[in-house]
Chain A
Amino acid sequence: MKKFLFIMLFTLIFSILFAQIEIVLWHSYRGGEKAALKKVVKNFNESQQEIKLKALMTPFDAFPDKITAAIPLGKGPDLFIFAHDRIGGWVEADILESLDFYLEEDISGQFVDGAYEPMIYKESLYGLPMSLKSIILFYNPNIIKTPPQTTDEMIALAKEHTNEENNEYGLVYENANYYYNACWMQGFGGRVFDENDNPIVNSEECVRSFQFAQDLYLKEKILPPEVSNVLVTTLFNEQKAAMVITGPWFRGEIAEDVPYEIEILPIISEVGNRATPFMSSEGVMMSTKSEHKDEAFEVMKYLISDKPALIMALEGKQPVANKNVYDNPDVANDKYLPKFKEQIEYSKPMPSIPQMTFVWSPASTAIQAVINGKDPKAVLDKAQDTIIKNLKAAGF
């Protein structure tokens, strides 16, 4: 019995002495990105003894709601990886810890242009950017030899390769989804919010871009009806879609025997600007309820440093935010990563103000109606009214 007690005591002392601080990191990566992150976590845990980093995967659909619900109750992670667009709401809800306290030097120079700024909300920094995601043009080199540079070229090429009888289409993208249509909207010069954060979804530019999206489907007839993300993947993998517009995550969904190339989105011939999609800067953020904030910040700093970023780029195929990675010969010679980086230059960060959550639903309803032949002006006016009404009701 004495011996037993002694062992118990010994173990207790031992475990207290060598107790590691556990930092929990939530992410929604799958496939290659997940494997790469796993490797990064492993490297981190082997590199030091004080902190044990534990990565937990949470499905993307449920991710933001889970964060919103779990963290205020103190049940959430210490850190999590998510796009910048929810920062505003989460800061207002006291979920995100400001990093101003922990930063010792200006680190904004370490990132690709446009990665750092979206992480700032009300003049405070709330996340360290890890990767940048925006949509881009994927094409099948078996069908298309030279990718289009303007939308006129794109439409002409697409028409050439559209054959409704055989279910072949020149261009496939989720045209009834506001997120994808934003590339036209911003290309035409439209914005979601003005300088004072008032919604302006019915501006003339927006109306023109919606008209453009309607024309692609109804007039030019280069798109299949009722496109969903499953349809995009299916048609591309059956080599029945010549071009698709989607994001870097699509690379994991392309079948192995299907060749693909990427090109930055074309210039909109009507206005001469390049199509400008929404960009999300995905970064690691800290919970206000974390019990080990200093250690958590150590982990954050590690995640954005060169070595893990290189792993995320090469093995996770991620367009990472770390600038130095692009100097690496393996990355520079990659067929895709420099293109993604180039597209980022022609993109705009998705608004991160909390008001944005009120836009999605009415705007999606609007684009659906327009795709199905309704007048863009009338539909967008209605959407604008709904957004303003809902914002008012919610206290903005």
Chain B
Amino acid sequence: MVRHKYWRIIAIIVIVVLFALLLGKLFNNTKAKLQVLYTGDFAYYISKAIAEIQQSASYDDSIEINKIIKQIEELYPDITDIAVIKGRYFIAHTNQELIDKKIPKVIFDTQRELKKKAGETDPEKPYVIWKKSEENYNLYNIYFPVEINDKIVEIVFLETRVQTFCPINISALFIYLIFLILIFVLIALDRFIPKFKFLIGSVLFILTIILIVNIIDSKLQVNLNEWNLKKDITFTGLQEHLTQLNVGVSVDSEPLTLQIEESTKTWKFTLSFIGVLFMIFIFTGAMENFFETIIKHRLAYAYILPAMFGVFLLVFFPFIYGILIGFTDYNLTNFGGDLIEYFSNFKNYGFNNFYNILKVINFKDYSNFYFTLAHTVLWTVLNLVFHISIGVGLALLLNDVRLRGRTAFRILLILPWAIPNYITALIWRGMFHKQFGAVNGLLELLGFEPISWFTQPGTAFMTNLATNVWLGFPFMMIIALGALQSIPKELYEASAIDGSTKWQTFWNVTVPLLRPAMVPAIILGTIWTFNQFNVIYLVSGGGPDGSTELLITDAYKLAFEQYRYGYAAAYCIIIFVVLLSYGVFTSKITRATKGAYE
């Protein structure tokens, strides 16, 4: 028992440290570090100058600045002023051409749009932050175009290299320490006075609330030293510089903070959320049970750990990710960038996708969801009817002992299933070609006019159906054959003695005994056919005019032709719900799984 206690304590320490580290990330402190920078051809001179200086033997930080300024002035006579404030470089110049070139209108417009989207009140505020992400830091190039006497003077705030790292803040650490101690107290008390569990839980809960409120409140943030330093340098620095330049304008200090604050806010929300989940985990005793179980069966858990990891990575992670995306408007225009930032912003979630998919009912529009759903259902039902009737029929034939060469027939009939379905689909597509296809060749032999199969919705549907029936019946046949062979002969003999006809034998002996094997196969077949992507995509391609699309091919096209990932994921969630309800419904009605084991 003593050993168990150690385990528990170690596990808890690990969790708490991880949690603390994670929370520390929310104070995503930024430390500004300066280097000089270069964009466009203007920057070319600067970078060249710096490179020369840095290569020279007498390289020294303090000389650097002056040397650079000198060289820039030599190389670049348009520059009217260069100032260095607290190690940062500001360059002002009045060359209109350069300003136009360096601050392309598009960037301005984009910034404005972004700010409008972010709900800023004054989107016209002119500034440009040109951001470039590197591994451990973000580069910000900040331009403040300032108007003096109706002329734009550009103030270039040369590269700020903002390093992103996350030291745990002192005040935050203090709270964590309390938090940590309380957990230990909880554990210690737990053995002797279980009644106090609730009380301590409440204390912890209140503490967490305070913590979260504090985190959300930006005032806490201002206390962070690093943060303050940054704010100070940036804005008083620029203001100072502007005064020195005698330009007589003040620059609002909002822009730079905006960028950083935004990303911190999303972190705050996410981590608070995780924090709450963690608290629930503790209060409900789930954590205790969790560790107790793990400790008790640790060998078993160790064995299945790799598998669990694999399943999580390959099944649960994509599944959860897909569902998350379904509630966002994740598309080409906001694809990329910081994914964590995007997904941790609650503003990005909503039910719009589902509403947009489901709101319009129009069976005449081929791209309408309900038309596609109806088509998919019709497709599935027809396919299964053919699969089952052909499969069971052939199985009955093959099961007849009087048939010669049964094995050979069986192998031949399994072939459509054994050949990769891409190849089969492409062959069938070729067979339906108007001029060179085998099907029209046969029709012509019989004296019919050749049919242009892929130009009419009806005929295109038939090409898909033919292909998929060909592909699908062997599976049903195999299942039925297996089930038929396991029916005891005595039952047939008994029914023969009772004088039943062949038909009666079939309905009263064969069918009931086939059912337990066939029902799961049918459920499986339904799901496969419902999502039969290959056949549709390769044979008719969904055409003409999208009339033979299935839900799954539609979802594919939305995701990979229009890059509307969110919308496509919502589509897939609906498909999932449809199939899930079908599965639950059928297994309840037929008691599929139960029947097989009775």
Contact = CB atoms under 8 A, between A and B. Distances in A.
Whether both chains belong to one complex is answered with yes
Contact of B332 (A72, A89, A225): A89
A354 B561 CA distance: 11
Contacts of A72: 335-336, 339
Interface string A326-358: 000000000000000000000000000010011
A167 interface: yes
B562 A100 contact: no
Interface string A90-106: 00111100001100100
A394 B543 contact: no
B23 to A, nearest CB: 25
Interface of chain B: mostly helix, strand, loop or mixed: loop
A372 B544 contact: yes
Contacts of B499: none
Given A93-B336, A100-B39, A394-B333, A123 B562 contact: no
B334 interface: yes
Contacts of A386: 367
A369 B456 CA distance: 10
Given A122-B104, A365-B543, A372-B452, A224 B435 contact: yes
Contacts of A58: none
B574 to A, nearest CB: 16
Given A365-B546, A394-B562, A394-B564, A94 B336 contact: yes
B567 interface: yes
A71 to B, nearest CB: 9
Interface size class of B (residues with CB under 8 A): 35 or more
A120 to B, nearest CB: 11
Contact of B545 (A92, A225, A231, A369): A369
A306 interface: no
A180 B356 CA distance: 34
By size class, the interface of chain A is 35 or more
B545 A226 contact: no
A10 B587 CA distance: 66
A116 to B, nearest CB: 16
A394 B452 contact: no
B38 interface: yes
Given A122-B104, A226-B434, A92 B332 contact: yes
Contacts of B454: 226
A339 to B, nearest CB: 31
Contacts of B154: none
B563 A225 contact: no
Contacts of A365: 543-546
Query: Most chain-A CB neighbours within 10 Å: which of B133, B545, B557, B564?
Result: B545
A394 B333 CA distance: 7
A361 to B, nearest CB: 5
A14 interface: no
Nearest to B356: A393
A394 B334 CA distance: 10
B455 interface: yes
A270 interface: no
28 contacts: A72-B339, A92-B333, A92-B335, A93-B332, A95-B336, A101-B39, A104-B44, A225-B452, A226-B433, A226-B434, A231-B433, A231-B436, A357-B561, A361-B561, A361-B562, A365-B543, A365-B545, A368-B545, A372-B455, A390-B564, A393-B356, A393-B567, A394-B333, A394-B563, A394-B564, A395-B329, A395-B331, A395-B332
Given A122-B104, A365-B546, 6 more contacts: A92-B332, A122-B107, A231-B436, A357-B563, A365-B543, A395-B329
